Amino acid sequence: MKAAVLHALKQPLRMEEMPRPQPGPGELLLRVRACGVCHSDLHVAEGDWEALRKITRLPVIPGHEIAGVVEAAGEGVTSFQPGDRAGLPWLYSTCGECEYCLGGREPLCARQQITGVTVDGGYAEFVKAPASHVIRIPAALSFADAAPLFCAGLTVFRALNQADPRPGQSVAVFGAGGLGHLAIQLAKARGCEVTAVDLADDKLELARECGAGSLINSAAGAKLPRVDLAVVCAGSVPAYQSAISSLRRGGTLVVVGMPADPIPISAIKLVGGELRIISSAVGTRAELRQLLELAAQGAVRCRVATRRLEEAPHVLEEMSGGRITGRVVLEP
């Protein structure tokens, strides 16, 4: 099979012919029809995040926003049949036994395996995975539309679930790109008033198309409104500083984007305003099923551009240069 392979950190991916994986007991073989290119893939390839750098298996096939069709089922699998539409997210597997798995917080499982990091992912024609962590894709969604929901959509969906904004509350989304334009739609679906904040006019235009009621170009020095929730989807320290300043008393900072440098936060400002900080790590399988159903009903849709699998190395270069609006999906 064709695959894009990462052999060393900070080195371009290489297109190679690889053996087709074979599903073992309890596993499925998926024929990949679409795989989203996530900013996390770039961070993994560059070794930007120490926690992941320590566990990244090299060589590895990246990609964790996988949508496809069941090609074959291993021994003991009865929940899926060949031909079923299904996908695989960031969480390749979890133990199912720890306090976090049993308590509905499986993204915190210490024994989790990560798709495209500790095991091979979806920048390939085929991928194998535990049937327990493969998720059905509704017929109403195309593979290209579904793929980015398996991480980008799920991450902001869980973040908003954690923050739990009420209808009518004001939400500012900082960074209106791949994650942010989905956060805008999900906040709108909750009945919130949404402001989009970004440095780029093309991303603000995307935010307008996604339903943002107000657009702020922070590069122009525009004044930020006071909001109940500030959802930061940009991996930028200045974005976090602006977000904290925009919060009303009793407001909530929602941490999604991950800058490499620490975020300076004043304890006096936190205490004086009784501000809350909420963060979330990807999402659970249950939340992913809920999100896919919402998308199938038309409540959220990702702005997708499709590329051939062979273009994966070039797409990561474009992403590194900030030249991508929305999400890119690779099609083998």
Tens digits of residue pLDDT in 4-56: 999 999 999 999 999 999 999 999 999 999 999 999 999 999 999 888 999 99
Neighbours of 125 (CB within 10 A): 18
Phi and psi at residue 48, to the nearest 5°: -75, -30
Of 49, 39, 70, 33, nearest in space to 177 by CA: 39
pLDDT of residue 223 exceeding 90: no
Q: d(Cα 264, Cα 245) in Å, to the nearest integer?
A: 12
- pLDDT recorded at residue 98: 98
Percent with pLDDT over 70 in the chain: 100
pLDDT of residue 67 exceeding 90: yes
Q: d(Cα 218, Cα 67) in Å, to the nearest integer?
A: 35
The token pair that represents 297 in the structure block? 């009903």
| Average confidence (pLDDT) over 203-211 | 96
Give the predicted TM-score (pTM) of the model: 0.95
Percent with pLDDT over 90 in the chain: 92
CATH superfamily of 154-279: NAD(P)-binding Rossmann-like Domain (3.40.50.720)
- pLDDT recorded at residue 280: 86
- pLDDT recorded at residue 46: 94
| Architecture of the domain defined by 2-151+282-331 | Alpha-Beta Complex (3.90)
Count the helices and strands in the chain (H runs, E runs): 11, 17
Cβ-Cβ contacts under 8 Å for 151 (sequence gap 6 or more): 36, 38, 40, 64, 65, 89, 90, 282
Break the chain into its structural domains and give their ranges.
Answer: 2-151+282-331, 154-279
First to last CA, the chain: 10
Q: 3-class DSSP state for residue 300?
A: coil
Beta bridge partners of 32: 68
CA distances from 38 to 249, 298, 316 (A): 34, 22, 9
Tens digits of residue pLDDT in 100-142: 999 999 999 999 999 999 999 999 999 999 999 999 999 999 9
Q: Do the strands 193-198 and 170-174 form a parallel or antiparallel pair, or are they unpaired?
A: parallel
The token pair that represents 74 in the structure block? 């291993």
